[in-house]
Amino acid sequence: MATGVSGAGARSVERSAFLDACRREAAPHRPIWIMRQAGRYLPEYRALRAKVEFETLTRTAELAAEVTLQPLRRFALDAAILFSDIMTPLQGMGVALTFEPAPVVREPIATLAQVEALPALVPERDVPFVLETIRLVRAGLPRGVPLIGFAGAPFTLMCYLASARPSKEFVAARRLLYAQPLLAEQLLTRLADAMAQYLAAQARAGAQALMLFESWAGLLAPREFARFALPAVRRTVAALRSSGVPLIYYVNQGAALMSEVAQLEVDVVGVDWRLGLSQVRRILGPERAVQGNLDPAALFAPPQAMRQQVDAVLAEAGAAPGHIFNLGHGIWPDTDPDAVARLVDYVHEHP
């Protein structure tokens, strides 16, 4: 069970604007964290990466914890996110892959025999270093800054698992949905169960919120999203209800899918910048918090113009509690860290 995230007593010692917003409660300031906040735009990350391979970073708890904490030392961010990758638990399940830098699976899944050969995930046995990273990060985080654990959503993982090379189209994975729908459903079910185990173990180790990344949802028509991607996420989410921590579903390029997404019982929906947050909130209704959605490109605007872009996101989000400021997708590797500092400080000026 995570500590310090529920109960009035715990809250008063360890108040967190991020967790307040996840629960749609008024926060002392607008919380902000940044997707991919630990990574290549930070010189200190590049310095470490020059000596150590990415995969080694993810598998060595002391190093993964260090990288997780790097952005927190520079910026007054309201949450940390575990440094790892969505493919890390699949490696733990025996899937051979390399990061080039995007994940490339050695034997893409195309047959029922391959699906059936995928073992269940036992996090304590298969990815103990992830759980150890979480314990180390919790020990090193400032008070009141929670740690977000994460996993890939089943369909997004399937995109990488079924494709020989990641492209922006993922033709092999999408072909499977139409050519072998029952195989696709079985694969998605296995992934849903594995990610439920994975995220529950992260919460037990100390993660105070859990996020599912649906990075490739935008490839699907609403019907296929509703038939394949959504039931799999729903299965993961249902298994995590008892974990007691807020659940976040990030859906990239999901503007056309938002009424389907609204059916998912998560606390927070994260979105990209292609749909304004007022519309997102209208479709999702009052029982979901929202996270987003500044275009990562806006960090390249001159300071005053960037502040206007932030104002526009805040105006769209409206005054109701339950908005976590973020980018609409991961920060670009060539972003100036000073622009991030200006962004965080400016967002914090707002209630």
3-state SS of the chain is CCCCCCCHHHHHHCCCHHHHHHCCCCCCCCCECCCCCCCCCCHHHHHHHCCCCHHHHHHCHHHHHHHHHHHHHHCCCCCEECCCCCCHHHHHCCCCEEECCCEEECCCCCCHHHHHHCCCCCHHHHCHHHHHHHHHHHHHCCCCCCEEEEEECHHHHHHHHHCCCCCCCCHHHHHHHHHCHHHHHHHHHHHHHHHHHHHHHHHHHCCCEEEEEECCHHHCCHHHHHHHHHHHHHHHHHHHHHHCCCEEEEECCCHHHHHHHCCCCCCEEEECCCCCHHHHHHHHCCCCEEEEEECHHHHHCCHHHHHHHHHHHHHHHCCCCCEEEEECCCCCCCCCHHHHHHHHHHHHCCC
244 is a contact residue toward ligand CP3 (CB under 6 A): no
40 is catalytic: yes
116 is a contact residue toward ligand CP3 (CB under 6 A): no
43 is a contact residue toward ligand CP3 (CB under 6 A): no
Q: Using CB under 6 A, which of the segments 13-21, 37-45, 137-145, 295-303 binds ligand CP3?
A: 37-45
49 is a contact residue toward ligand CP3 (CB under 6 A): yes
Tell me whether residue 102 or residue 112 sits nearer to ligand CP3 (CB atom): 102
59 is a contact residue toward ligand CP3 (CB under 6 A): no
85 is a contact residue toward ligand CP3 (CB under 6 A): yes
24 is a contact residue toward ligand CP3 (CB under 6 A): no
Q: Which of 20, 24, 30, 36 is catalytic?
A: 36
99 is a contact residue toward ligand CP3 (CB under 6 A): yes
297 is a contact residue toward ligand CP3 (CB under 6 A): no
Q: Which residue of this chain has its Cβ atom nearest to ligand CP3 in the complex?
A: 215
54 is a contact residue toward ligand CP3 (CB under 6 A): yes
Q: Which of 24, 45, 59, 160 is catalytic?
A: 160
49 is catalytic: yes
Residues making contact with ligand CP3 (CB under 6 A): 35-40, 49, 54, 81, 83, 85-86, 99, 101-103, 150, 213, 215, 252, 330
Catalytic sites, residue numbers: 36, 40, 49, 85, 160
